[in-house]
Amino acid sequence: MKTLNVNGDIVEFDGDEDTPLLWALREQLGLTGTKYGCGIAQCGACTIHVDGEAVRSCVYPVSAIEGEEITTIEGLSKDGSHPVQQAWAELDVPQCGYCQTGMIMAVSALLKENPKATDSDIDEAITNICRCGTFARVRKGIHLAKTKL
């Protein structure tokens, strides 16, 4: 049994500790906002925060968690009031939306660390893939979110 701090709640995970955190969140805890994309940490659909840092949860085993705070899209804000979520809604950033929870988590971690991120910083830090190709709107959303911080 592993104790996890997820979105500010202490929860028990009673499963194989080699399970990727993505599946523990989705299947055991019912937090389905974090999406499965590729399973090899390339696409970023599964991005969450572990102690405030963006992490690809599809390859991050539950066994690696030792008291860290895990934040999923459900815990970023209860009402969609996070500046990145506000910018996404204002600009209608997503097309299909599947990858956007991971994108929002990656962007929110970047802006927490670097609230004045330049296009170069964005290019380096945001490596999430959007199959719909909304990258121009994502970039605009990031710049708008910076003004809301």
- On whether both 32 and 67 belong to a single domain, the answer is yes
Which of these three, 75, 108, 131, is where a domain ends? Answer: 75
Per-residue confidence in pLDDT tens, the chain, 149 aa = 999 999 999 999 999 999 999 999 999 999 999 999 999 999 999 999 999 999 999 999 999 999 999 999 999 999 999 999 999 999 999 999 999 999 999 999 999 999 999 999 999 999 999 999 999 999 999 999 999 99
85 alpha carbon, distance to own chain's centre: 12
Of 31, 135, 127, 116, nearest in space to 73 by CA: 31
Q: Is 14 exposed, middle or buried (0-12, 13-18, 19+ CB in 10 A)?
A: exposed
Q: How many domains is the chain built from?
A: 2
* Domain membership of residue 134 as a residue range: 83-148
Among residues 19, 51, 75, the one where a domain terminates is 75
pTM: 0.97
Question: Which pLDDT value is given to residue 27?
Answer: 97
Phi, psi of 61 (to 5 degrees): -70, 150
Instruction: For residue 103, give the CATH number of its domain.
Output: 1.10.150.120
CB contact at 8 A, 80 and 89? yes
68 with 109, same domain: the answer is: no
Are residue 93 and residue 66 in the same domain, yes or no? no
Last residue of a domain, one of 75, 110, 125: 75
Q: Let me know whether 60 and 112 are in one domain.
A: no
